[in-house]
Amino acid sequence: MAATHHLVLASASPRRLALLQQAGIEPERLLPVDIDEAPERGEHPRSLAKRLSRQKAEAAFQVLRERDEAEGRILLAADTVVSVGRRIMPKAEVEDDALANLRFLSGRTHRVYTGVCAIGLSGRVRQRLVETRVRFKRLTRDDIRDYIDSGEWRGKAGGYGIQGLAGAFVVRLVGSYTNVVGLPLYEALALVEGEGFDIHGVRRALRETGETA
């Protein structure tokens, strides 16, 4: 019966969806929600990642309840924060943000925190926080210009996506690579499996569907 439980991803991120698909999991639906992502005064980056992931999960779960669609569904949400020390690097929405971020990250070690939150069939909230340390090489003007021209920085925490051109900037990475992409797979799947999501049953069902298509 567990295999009939449906996974809802509270995100519009194509990277998080692709990571789940890479792990053989196809969410039933995407249910992104809009929340205020501004850090509170003096808030530590790791606390921000945990708080926002929980708020996203709770807001999306409330939408399911209002639609009377929460039964039989497990909800997964995540939020990624990039920081140098306690300095939180903004999500790059305009070119000036991306330029400032890349110049500041050049030659430095930064930390990537992702808060992962799952709400299970009982409505219980479970969370994990994952931290990865990343060191960039010293970026040249051409490195930065090429990356800005690529447009890969748009909407990215810290102004870069490691799965693209910026992967060549990384001198050292300590921790989870998928965390830097936006969803630490081990921790995310452990959370939903702990809430009764039958990962292996879902994979088998997807394979059977593909075979009969």
Which residue in the list 79, 146, 149, 198 is annotated as catalytic?
Answer: 79
Query: Does the annotation mark 96 as catalytic?
Result: no
- Helices 185-194 + 14-22 axis angle, to 10: 70
Q: What are the helix (H) ranges across the chain?
A: 14-22, 45-66, 95-105, 141-150, 177-181, 185-194, 199-212
Residues 6+ apart with CB under 8 A from 115: 49, 50, 51, 52, 53, 54, 78, 79, 81, 127, 128, 129
What number of other Cβ atoms are within 10 A of residue 175's Cβ?
15
| Residue positions annotated with a catalytic role | 79
